[in-house]
Amino acid sequence: MLLPQSLSRRLSPARSTAVAARTGVALGVGITILFATGLISHLIQHPPDWFRWPAHPVWLYRVTQGTHVTVGVMMIPVLLVKLWSVYMRFFIKPSLRHGLAELLERLSVAVLIGAVLFQIVTGLFNTAQFYPWKFFFTTTHHAMAYVAFGAVVVHLAVKLPVVRQALSRPVDDPEPDAGSAPESGPRRGISRRTVLVAAGLGAVVAGVAVAGQSIPFLRWASLLAPRSGHGPQGVPINRTAAAAAVTDTARSPQYALTVKVGGRERAFSRADLEAMPQHDSALPIACVEGWSAQGHWSGVRLRELLAAVGEYRGGDVRFTSLETTGIYGSSVLPHTHVVDASTLIALRLHGEDLALDHGYPCRLIAPNRPGVLQTKWLKSIEELS
């Protein structure tokens, strides 16, 4: 697309197809990673019948969701450079010869930009648990992921010849046909290579600034990470006992955990649970906001607790919290995780009784699961038929 000379003179040589193509490729790779890792998280939380998520390796969800949030933040400087390199083209009137095609192309690009910006902004707000909107973040973010990824695929298909041509030339070659002013004297402004290096460095710095949420040795540098290992007993929390309105019921002397399995039912006090064989598990808490922390948990193996009540028939198991508000007051654990030796009804963390905010008197801790499904302040456990 040719630019009018009056506009072309005001363009930096860095605003070019070379920069747009290279940042576009980086965005395409990043958005593909985000789509795949985000889809994994959604399927774990809302599993269809065909989906199976393994219990091992125990760190897998920690890696996929940490990657999701870190890559999302890394895409911010890349996206800004991409938009800077092309935005002036949107002010050019479509030619009469290609008016409809150019108009449709611009509309498709508008959908792409809008969807990607929506995903990045709402995702960033979610990491800080700040929701200045009326819609439910999880389902909306998931739906818009298909729009963003689909728009990327369509845009790449339309622009593939231009991208291939741009990538085949050295980055600082003149591009008079792409809208840059012909260079007859000293080059004006910064070079394209400098812009691309700055975009790459910006992405790395942005990533490091949040990656410490899930990579412990980077916590010292993660200045923008909202949760970096701080919290009761050295593990962050998303929801306090006060916010869940369970402070009194969790501390009640009459507390009992009801377990239903094999057509039988039994109530366990905290003392009953402590009297059973105790086991240790080293498992991370990994949350959808991107943070994770390793925990050394101890308590009763779930499979042994079920066996103490009745015959476990291999079905999924529902866990219900004392919490009566919020949307994560219960979770369902699939058979693979139920029978795993590392799945505990945890009573202690790092050798100490669970802090109230970590789920006292007892909580579920299972391998390779999102934190929102590691139900705290357990009220009942029931095998589903």
What's the pLDDT at 99?
59
| Average model confidence (pLDDT) across the chain | 88
- Residue 4: pLDDT over 50: no
pLDDT digits (tens, 9 = 90+) for 267-286: 999 999 999 999 999 999 99
Q: What is the CATH number of domain 5-221?
A: 1.20.950
Report CA dihedral (68, 346, 248, 239) to the nearest 10 degrees. Answer: -10
Q: How confident is the model at residue 5 (pLDDT cuts 50, 70, 90)?
A: very low
What DSSP character marks residue 93?
Answer: P
Give the mean model confidence (pLDDT) for residues 106-110: 79
Give the mean model confidence (pLDDT) for residues 307-323: 95
What's the pLDDT at 184?
47
Nearest to 141 by CA among 156, 154, 127, 155: 127
- Residue 129: pLDDT over 80: yes
Q: How confident is the model at residue 171 (pLDDT cuts 50, 70, 90)?
A: confident
Give the mean model confidence (pLDDT) for residues 209-230: 81
Q: Where in the chain is the domain with CATH 1.20.950?
A: 5-221
Q: How confident is the model at residue 185 (pLDDT cuts 50, 70, 90)?
A: very low
What's the pLDDT at 192?
85
Q: Which has the higher per-residue pLDDT, 67 or 220?
A: 67
d(CA 292, CA 229): 8
| Percentage of the chain modeled with pLDDT above 70 | 89
pLDDT digits (tens, 9 = 90+) for 73-104: 999 999 999 988 887 776 666 665 655 666 77
- Residue 308: pLDDT over 90: yes
Give the mean model confidence (pLDDT) for residues 233-261: 94
- Residue 174: pLDDT over 90: no
The interaxial angle of helices 60-86 and 99-127, nearest 10 deg, is 140
Q: Where in the chain is the domain with CATH 3.90.420.10?
A: 241-383
d(CA 80, CA 27): 11
Cα end-to-end span (Å), the chain: 63
Q: Name the residue type at position 243.
A: A
Q: Which has the higher per-residue pLDDT, 86 or 258?
A: 258
Give the mean model confidence (pLDDT) for residues 132-142: 91
Give the mean model confidence (pLDDT) for residues 172-182: 54
Q: Which has the higher per-residue pLDDT, 384 or 217?
A: 384
- Residue 117: pLDDT over 50: yes
Q: Which has the higher per-residue pLDDT, 122 or 129?
A: 122
What's the pLDDT at 12?
67
Give the mean model confidence (pLDDT) for residues 41-60: 95
- Residue 223: pLDDT over 90: no
Give the mean model confidence (pLDDT) for residues 357-364: 97
CATH topology of domain 241-383: Sulfite Oxidase; Chain A, domain 2 (3.90.420)
pTM as predicted: 0.88
What's the pLDDT at 16?
82
Q: How confident is the model at residue 3 (pLDDT cuts 50, 70, 90)?
A: very low
Instruction: Give one DSSP letter per residue of 212-257, joined into a string.
Output: TTT-GGGGGG-TT-S-SS-SGGG---SS-HHHHT-HHHHH-TT--E
Give the mean model confidence (pLDDT) for residues 37-43: 96
What's the pLDDT at 35?
96
Secondary structure class of 281 (helix, strand, coil): strand
Q: Counting beta carbons within 10 angstroms of the beta carbon of residue 258, is it exposed (0 to 12), middle (13 to 18) or buried (19 or more)?
A: middle
